[in-house]
Structure 1
Amino acid sequence: MPFTWPLDPQDLFTERHPQMTLALPAAEVDAVRAAVTDMWPDRPGGWVHEWSALAARHAAAGRHREAAQAYGWAKFPTLADEPKRTAQARQVEQYLLAAPGFPVEFERRTLTVPYGGGTVDLPVHLMAAPGLPADAPVMLASGGVDSWKVDLHDMWERLALALPVRLLLFDIPGTGETSHVPMTPDGGAKVIDGLIAYARTIGNGRVGHFGLSMGGYYSARSGLTGAVDAAVDLGGPVEHAFARGRGFAYGMGGIVGNALGFPAMPTAAEQDDAFAAFDLRPLLDQDLNSPMLVLNGADDVHVPQHDTLVFTPRRHTHVTLLPDTGHCAISRFDDAMRITIPWLRTTLCP
């Protein structure tokens, strides 16, 4: 059954335009914006149709990297129906066609990691600067509920070229190529524990964890438990974001409901009940953590400032709220990276 909910596509353009234009020309994004009139129908004027048309033009011209980014927006914000799933399959296809031209070393692997009472197969990407020694640190990295490992390629490439680390890129449960299992706090933690254990076998034993948005929830958890040697939480919800009755902006309620595994749009009470288990207060109450960098935009409509500032008194923790930017500081991405890259270089790669 399709998972759809009332959503004005123009609201998504309003919120995500800075992110869309990180990897695609603004003129192309604006042309799609002008053409889109509906979110869900797969026909002219529909979100998936118009973004896929742009992607197909790039693919036909051999611009596979741009095609992958456009197909990424075609399947956004969730794999709600068959057209979205088709767009994601084409995104991965175009991304792998583009991979030989990346200025970084790139490899795709499928790992089997713990999940629930069993295991789950997890496609991951390994990325590093050319010639990086095999005994370099490894850093897990993921996006959140609607921006996944392929979508964030430009960010990963920048980190890989700037740092002497090997990135291990993955999609958190409930998202991307891991959408076949729901996002849960414990299930996600088991997946990440499996990835950390694997990462310690392919480098020098030092492992970091970088998480964006909901991925930042899991990297905060890795840092708070001391499971990794360094953790970066960029815009992650940890406590007040999960409070009952908060509500969601820009269609995020449906995005989160889909990732949580609901078959259709959950009620507010159902979503509150599911979210209650994510609250990291028990870990925040412990005096235990790895070195952590926690940052976000001060004007985030999804994650309250508290969920960043709550880390301020912790030892071995650097906290920054960037002014004049929103969720994950995307509109001030360069400033966020100017903080993140030196911190990782001195903390994970001393």
Structure 2
Amino acid sequence: MTYPFPVDPENLFEERTAQFVNLGLPSDEVARLRAAITNMWADAPGGWTWEWSRLAERYAAAGEHYLASLAYGGARFPCLADPAKAAAMDRQVEQYTLAAQGFPVGFERRTVTVRYREAIVEVRVHVLSPADAGADTPVLIASGGIDTWKMDLHPMWEALALGAKVRIVAFEHAGVGELTHIPMAADTQAIIGGLLHFARTLTTGKVGHFGLSFGGYFSAQTGLRGDADAAVVLGGPVTSATFGPEHAKNLLYGMADIFGNAVGFTTRPDMGALITAFESFALDELLTTQDNCPMLVINGDADVHVPIADTTVFNGRQNTQVELIPGGSHCALNKLDQIMPIMINWIANALHP
């Protein structure tokens, strides 16, 4: 368990309504929740998790298991900082697994054993495969950020699997989701190295890494080091300016405390401690190298969390395509109709012979 923190639910709805709707929840239900929720942490009527969970229960009772999983994903948003949110994520897994019977892709829930700091780490992954997947079908390991996790992004995984003809291994990086018990750090990239190794056991073809938001931080590491055959960075923070004190002090919508939860603080840290943790992630030194695999770097030009410079810093790199989406929010999730074709085409070209 990590820690709750002050945040206005209305501010979260202001920022995330488009994301909730674009990822599959009916807009009228999101609007109803927005009007009903007045407290982020109260496990009672008007509380965030309570209201989202009631919606999820209604969907589950009607046999709408996928919608129930999305609603439970909303209930546990943005981090597992209290027992009610942890319980909501458990129910999200349950409903998502039930919904998988109707997916147009094959589904397996698997446990991958990797090593991190000499310890054994069990990583729960979801493997999504096109119906015609074979031994040479490329694999794309894929993760979201510090508040949007593997089950929340199912529509994206499904579209990439079917459109780019790849097998998806969806996971959460350290500090979030089913790996909340392992604090996120720059060197938790080692866990992702283990997942890349696992991915290579699933195919005789190529392996890529897709990361959204803070997941993009880790896919940027993979890409810059050349650890995969291709890497997609969607809205990933990378530079010391972004991981510096001034940016940390001005983070919006509770993001500083969402990050604080991910890196393992169990009580709310002071700004000095948060900044020290923040600064340890900067990739400036790695950005000076030229050993990258083919990379696609995308973000919206209206991202309130990650500055434009963290996308344009990739301009001019070898084997790198950079796309800055006009009017795009964080990760351009309000422009999915624009970014999905770009990503599908690029991934297909990068991973297929």
TM over 0.5: yes
CA–CA separation in structure 2 for the residues paired with 1:202 and 1:15? 38
1:322 aligns with 2:322: no
When the two chains are superposed, the root-mean-square deviation of aligned CA atoms in Å is: 0.9
Counterparts of 1:265 and 1:37 in 2: how far apart (Å)?
Answer: 22
Residue of structure 1 equivalent to 2:19: 19
Number of the residue aligned with 1:343: 346
TM-score by length of 1: 0.98
- Percent sequence identity over aligned pairs: 52
Task: Name the amino acid aligned to 1:42.
Answer: D
Matches within 5 A, 1:1-350: 3-22=3-22, 23-187=24-188, 189-239=189-239, 240-246=241-247, 247=249, 248-350=251-353
1:75-94 Cα offsets, whole Å, 9 max, x none, are 00000010000100000000
Structure 2 CA distance, aligned partners of 1:35 and 1:288? 51
- Runs of 5+ unmatched residues, structure 2: none
Q: CA deviation at 1:205?
A: 4.1
C-alpha contact (below 8 Å) 2:2/2:264 kept by paired residues: no
1:206, CA displacement in angstroms? 1.4
DSSP 3-state at the match of 1:245:
helix
Structure 1 residue 271: Cα displacement: 1.2
**8 Å Cα contact 2:2-2:265 kept in structure 1:** no
Distance, in Å, in 2 between the alignment partners of 1:46 and 1:346 is 46
Instruction: Compute the displacement of 1:104 (Å).
Output: 0.6
Matched AA of 1:37: T
Distance 1:115 1:165 in 2: 27
1:245 and 1:272 in contact (8 A); partners too: no
Q: What displacement does 1:202 show?
A: 1.1
Q: Is the 8 A contact 1:208 1:228 kept in 2?
A: yes
What is the CA–CA distance in structure 2 between the aligned matches of 1:76 and 1:116, rounded to whole Å? Answer: 29
Shifted more, 274-283 versus 239-248: the winner is: 239-248
CA deviation profile, 1:77-116 (whole Å, cap 9, x unmatched)? 0000100001000000000111101111110101111122
1:126, 1:167 within 8 Å by CA — same for their partners in 2? Answer: yes
Paired residue total: 349
- How far residue 190 of structure 1 moved from its aligned partner, in angstroms, is 0.5
Query: Which one is further off, 89-98 or 242-251?
Result: 242-251
CA contact (8 A) 2:325 2:332 kept: yes
Equivalent AA in structure 2 for residue 159 of structure 1: L
Stretch deviating more after TM superposition (327-336 or 112-121): 112-121
Structure 1 window deviating more from structure 2 (46-55 vs 194-203): it is 194-203
Q: Distance in 2 between matches of 1:61 and 1:116?
A: 45
Distance 1:215 1:114 in 2: 19
Please give the secondary structure, in 1, of the residue aligned with 2:201: helix
Counterparts of 2:342 and 2:159, CA distance in 1: 13
What one-letter code is carried by the residue in structure 2 that aligns with 1:322? I
Q: 1:134, CA displacement in angstroms? A: 2.2
Task: Indicate the SS of the match to 2:59.
Answer: helix
Q: Distance in 1 between matches of 2:227 and 2:45?
A: 48
Corresponding letter in the other structure for 1:221: Q
Q: Secondary structure at the match of 1:21?
A: helix
Amino acid at match of 1:244: P
1:117 Cα deviation (Å)? 2.4
For the 8 Å contact 1:58–1:67, the answer to whether it is kept is: yes
Quick one: structure 1 residues 283 and 199, their matched pair in 2 at CA, closer, same or farther if it must change by over 3 Å? same
Deviation at 1:131, TM superposition (A): 2.1
Runs (4+) off by over 2 Å: none
